[in-house]
Amino acid sequence: MRTERTPWFRRYTGRAPSVRLVCFAHAGGTASLFHGWRARLPDHVELLAVQYPGRQDRLREPCAETVEELAEAALDALAPELGLPFALFGHSMGAAVAHEATRLLERRGGARPLRLFVSGRGAQHVIQHQNVPGLTDAEIIASVRELGGPGLAAYDDPDLRGVLLPPLLADHRLLNRYVVAGPQRLRTPISAFGGTDDPVCSMAELDAWRDCTEQWSGAHALPGGHFYLVPEEREIVARIVRQLG
């Protein structure tokens, strides 16, 4: 059954969907990160790419202030979509949001993901000591440039920079405030992915996700840096589809 349109998702529908893949982008990112995935997904997988508030068509909405707030709001929008089995995928900041959403779903009872896919971010209980709440805007921008990624050249355009910077800075503040008490073992299976040359997410940090689930499916390295999933789009989508079955 189709549901009302919501600003929270960009929907890419297969011909006969039997499972939904809900995808969360990086800090400063948008649903557009996953635009190319639709062409690589089989007909039985429907893609819902999460559009965070405060950017693109949601530019006039305030950005979320905490990971918990963002996860809960996304789940509220997702509630009408839970008639089909679903899985969550999150890259970088999106991994934290997708994990927090999974934790919340398990606390609520009822529907939970077939699988949680995390990418480009270590388990929070291992990396939260790296939080630096006092970073200046300039330091945040410099760190983003170091990572590369899609659309980076837009930050050189003064007009576009004024639109892109507020959500980027808000997302980084959100992440630097995020703290968990410790690893909570979820029933949901977790698979982790990362780039072999990612300067901010080591394989050891990625492997620490094993402490967050009763069903660990391993940490998988693909060639590239923090945004390895852009050049390796075909491969990561294929691996996700195989694990969804």
Catalytic residue among 26, 92, 99, 119: 92
* Rg of the chain on CA atoms, in Å: 17
- Say whether 92 is catalytic: yes
- Say whether 226 is catalytic: yes
> Which residue from 163, 165, 181, 161 is spatially nearest to 173, judged by alpha carbons?
165
> Which residue from 91, 93, 88 is spatially nearest to 115, judged by alpha carbons?
88
Measure the N-to-C terminal CA separation of the chain; round to a whole number of Å: 22
Please report the sign of the dihedral spanned by the C-alpha atoms of residue 38, residue 27, residue 8, residue 88: positive
Identify any residues that bridge with 19 across adjacent strands, giving them in sequence order. Answer: 45
The answer to whether 117 touches 90, Cβ cutoff 8 Å, is: yes
Catalytic residues: 92, 226
